[in-house]
Amino acid sequence: GNWGRLAAQQTLSQDDLLQFDTFGNVSLIHITDIHAQLKPIWFREPEINLGVGGNKGQVPHITGADFRRAYGIEDGSPSHYALSYDDFVALGHAYGKMGGLDRCATVINNIRAERPDALLLDGGDTWHGSYTCYKTEGQDVVNVMNLLKPDAMTFHWEFTLGSDRVRDIVDDLPFAALGQNIFDSEWDEPAEDFAPYKFYESGGVKVAVVGQAFPYMPIANPGWMFPEYSFGIRDQRMQKMVDEVRGQGAELVVCLSHNGFDVDKKMAERVTGIDVILAGHTHDALPEPYLVGETLIVASGSNGKFISRVDLDVRDGRMMGFRHKLIPIFSDVIAPDSEVAEAIDAERAPFANELSEVIGRTADDTTLFRRGNLNGSWDDLICDALIEEREADIAMSPGVRWGPSIMPGQDITREDIWNVTSMTYPNAYRTEMTGQFIHEIMEDVADNLFNPDPYYQQGGDMVRVGGMGYRIDVTKPIGERITEMTLLKTGEAIDPAKTYTVAGWASVNEGTEGPPIWDVVENHIRRQGTVSVAPNTSVQVIGA
């Protein structure tokens, strides 16, 4: 439907967005997975977000109209636009871009005006994901975030800057760098550079914040970039830390987590005594906290699109009640904070020409997005680029959840391309694989996503494939999910014994060779001029 006109009738105001009756005695402000997006962006929420096992049909694994129904969100409303995928273009034109750290600053300052000792907690995936972040090795984001004065953060993609660089930044960080699960890999001892927790005094309440970094760092990202560290869920140690801070008088225990939502749910079942888990990594935005026993799980989206505010009433060492709001950062409605806006512009100024160069544009029928368990149109475009520029039969692109969207009929700048490709291991490899091996890869990645036990999941999405179709039954065990693999250019079944040329990027293997993916995509888009991506019909999903 066309919600544009209806939407325009619903005027938004900054006051409405920020309206919150201050409650209790403690306020938490949560932002996560910014992925270096300093400026407002378009961001289309997922269309396909499958839950498996006990999480089938549970939040956050519901999308679109089902999601709106679950949370009582009116069709065409600002929340419809911010939280679900459908009618994205029409609603986007009515409501505008989201995010911008200068707008986030306004929201944070506003909360602090009401609750001066509110704690600002950053869930990580902050120093990664843009042209300027790559060129400055994260310094641009660090500088801007410091102005927001966080109280603590935890980590994931930050480590792909390499451990030396991470330590350099952490040494100078004016707030706590937390991760109870970050260990020295040689001696298996807690890593000295990252504290497990930190105490804060807020509203007369002793608050402990325990950090939980991404548990699967050396699996999902190149371990050779940070060999001194080991991670893991380590929920037994988490319990020990919770008991320890309780023993030291913590009245409120907050876990600043980068586990991913389903892992947080399971951890909340296994670890007792955590009052609030601030969830990151899986980029879910939920308008209400999710309750596991007495633990609140708060999910605050990604790319600077949302900030969560959680007010808590803590008395006699117990959380007695809460009030929560997921604040969508409508960039045309929330006034930018001028100091932060200037700082952002200053960080970007040295790169202004490179960032703004127009490489091509999207056709009127094409929205570029990437978010969801299977290929998005950005992924399809990247796979097309790999197949054509690298002369491959099949392309594979990582199932990451970051990367803003591009509206139809919009210029695609270099910045836009880097927003979906920027990383420190960008080489676009070209290699030979047997059909059997391709199948093994598909099965392996599928199990990292669809294993019914969340502790065996890594919170990414299915590897995006170009040039090949397949059928996936998400309910089957490893080895049996992927069938009917077909080479699209011939329509023939993939032969396990035959060898195919595969191009891909983001290999975790050291020494991977090939041009950086952003050059591959830029060349492809330049050649196309106007980019049109047809809906992907080559993946058949069963058991959803």
Partner 1 sequence: LGLGATVVAVLPVQATAAVDEAIAAFTGGAEMGSEGITLIAPEIAENGNTVPIEVNAPGAEAIFIVAAGNPTPGVATFNFGPLAAAQSGSTRIRLAGTQDVIAIARMPDGSFVKASQEVKVTIGGCGG
Partner 2 sequence: MADNVKPRVRVPRDATAGEVITIKTLISHNMESGQRRDDDGNIIPRSIINRFTCDFNGVNVLEVAMEPAISTNPFFEFQATVPESGTFTFTWYDDDGDVYTETKEITVS
Q: Can you name the residues that pair with 486 across neighbouring β-strands? A: 469, 493
186 touches partner 2 by CB under 8 A: yes
Phi, psi of 541 (to 5 degrees): -100, 130
Residue 178 belongs to what H/E stretch? none
Nearest approach in angstroms of CB 192 to partner 2 is 14
> How far is 258 from 273, CA to CA, in rounded Å?
18
Alpha-carbon Rg of the chain, whole angstroms?
22
Question: Which of residues 87, 125, 275, 379 is near Mn ion by CB under 5 A?
Answer: 125
Nearest approach in angstroms of CB 142 to partner 1 is 20
Upper half-sphere CA count for residue 331 (Cβ side, 13 Å): 20
Which residues are CB-contacts of 96 (< 8 A; sequence separation ≥ 6)?
40, 330, 331, 332, 333
Residue 187 site contact among partner 2, partner 1, Mn ion, none (CB < 5 to 8 Å, cut-off depends on kind): partner 2
Question: Which of residues 156, 325, 348, 481 is near Mn ion by CB under 5 A?
Answer: 156
Nearest approach in angstroms of CB 228 to partner 2 is 14
Residue 190 site contact among Mn ion, partner 1, partner 2, none (CB < 5 to 8 Å, cut-off depends on kind): none
510 touches partner 2 by CB under 8 A: no
Strands across the sheet with 318-328, in order?
176-177, 152-153, 119-122, 26-31, 306-315, 318-328
Nearest approach in angstroms of CB 321 to partner 1 is 31
Instruction: Pick the stretch among 28-36, 178-186, 444-452, 522-530 that binds Mn ion (CB under 5 A).
Output: 28-36
188 touches partner 2 by CB under 8 A: yes
> How far is 400 from 303, CA to CA, in rounded Å?
13
Cβ atoms 27, 314 nearer than 8 A: no
> How far is 85 from 81, CA to CA, in rounded Å?
7
Nearest approach in angstroms of CB 34 to Mn ion is 8
Residue 479 site contact among partner 1, partner 2, Mn ion, none (CB < 5 to 8 Å, cut-off depends on kind): partner 1
CA dihedral 58, 61, 66, 68 (to 10 degrees): 100
Contact mark string toward partner 2, 141..180, x via CB under 8 A: ----------------------------------------
Report the interface residues with partner 1, using CB under 8 A: 33, 125, 156-157, 188, 214, 216-221, 223, 230-233, 236, 260, 280-283, 302, 396, 398-402, 429, 431, 437, 440-441, 443-445, 447-449, 451, 453, 455-461, 463, 478-479, 502, 504, 506-509, 512
Nearest approach in angstroms of CB 187 to partner 2 is 6
For partner 1, which is the closer residue by CB, 186 or 365?
186
Can you say how many angstroms the Cα of residue 518 is from the centroid of all Cα atoms in its chain? 20
> How far is 505 from 509, CA to CA, in rounded Å?
11
Which residues are CB-contacts of 541 (< 8 A; sequence separation ≥ 6)?
48, 50, 374, 471, 472, 474
443 touches Mn ion by CB under 5 A: no
For partner 1, which is the closer residue by CB, 78 or 218?
218
192 touches partner 2 by CB under 8 A: no
Instruction: Pick the stretch among 32-40, 202-210, 447-455, 484-492 that binds Mn ion (CB under 5 A).
Output: 32-40
For partner 2, which is the closer residue by CB, 168 or 228?
228
Distances, alpha carbon 355 to alpha carbons 138, 350, 417, 418, in Å: 16, 10, 10, 9
Cβ atoms 251, 204 nearer than 8 A: no
> How far is 285 from 82, CA to CA, in rounded Å?
9
Instruction: Please state whether beta strands 183-184 and 176-177 pair in parallel, antiparallel, or not at all (unpaired).
Output: unpaired
Cβ atoms 160, 153 nearer than 8 A: no
Cβ atoms 101, 304 nearer than 8 A: yes
For partner 1, which is the closer residue by CB, 325 or 464?
464
Residue 461 site contact among partner 1, partner 2, Mn ion, none (CB < 5 to 8 Å, cut-off depends on kind): partner 1
Residue 478 site contact among Mn ion, partner 1, partner 2, none (CB < 5 to 8 Å, cut-off depends on kind): partner 1
524 touches Mn ion by CB under 5 A: no
For partner 2, which is the closer residue by CB, 15 or 188?
188
For partner 2, which is the closer residue by CB, 187 or 316?
187
For partner 2, which is the closer residue by CB, 171 or 188?
188
b/e 441-468 (16+ beta carbons within 10 angstroms → b): bbbebbbbbbbeebeebbbbbbbbbbbb
Nearest approach in angstroms of CB 457 to Mn ion is 13
Give how many residues touch partner 2 by CB under 8 A: 3
249: left (phi over 0), alpha (psi -120 to 50) or beta: left
Nearest approach in angstroms of CB 104 to Mn ion is 16
Nearest approach in angstroms of CB 185 to partner 2 is 10
Question: Which of residues 9, 172, 187, 247 is near partner 2 by CB under 8 A?
Answer: 187
Helix (H) and strand (E) counts in the chain: 18, 28
For partner 1, which is the closer residue by CB, 17 or 445?
445
Residue 473 site contact among partner 1, Mn ion, partner 2, none (CB < 5 to 8 Å, cut-off depends on kind): none
Structure tokens at 385: 């680029």
281 touches Mn ion by CB under 5 A: yes
Residue 186 site contact among partner 2, partner 1, Mn ion, none (CB < 5 to 8 Å, cut-off depends on kind): partner 2
Instruction: Pick the stretch among 65-73, 124-132, 185-193, 225-233 that binds Mn ion (CB under 5 A).
Output: 124-132
> How far is 32 from 154, CA to CA, in rounded Å?
9
Binding region for Mn ion (CB under 5 A): 33, 125, 156, 281
Binding region for partner 2 (CB under 8 A): 186-188
